[in-house]
Amino acid sequence: MLDNTNLLITAWHDNKLIGIARYLTDFVYITYFADLAVDEDYQRQGIGKQLIKEVKNNTDKACSITLLATPQVVDYYGYIGFNTHP
């Protein structure tokens, strides 16, 4: 899974991995947002938002981000600026 990901963004606290975002992208037209995870002890601190922001810093500014979210997290992604397309 990680070996074939072409954009992986991580967050660290000292030597501890506390967040990860995994994407598949052509860096110009579209980025498929595959996974986002933040350690439970570090949630609600903006780490997930920053991981998503970093993908925008690492791709063309016109590159769109597309994701499929499970029903349990749809509200979270709407909260951080994604549009819902039922």
Residue ranges with strand state E in the chain: 7-13, 16-25, 30-38, 64-67
Per-residue model confidence as pLDDT tens digits over 29-78: 988 888 889 999 999 999 998 998 888 888 888 888 888 777 777 777 77
pLDDT at 14: 96
User: Residue 38 class from Cβ within 10 Å (0-12 exposed, 13-18 middle, 19+ buried)?
Assistant: buried
- The CATH class of the 7-79 domain is alpha beta
Q: Phi/psi of residue 55, each to 5°?
A: -65, -35
Positive or negative, the CA dihedral 80, 81, 85, 86 is: positive
Tell me if the pTM is above 0.95.
no
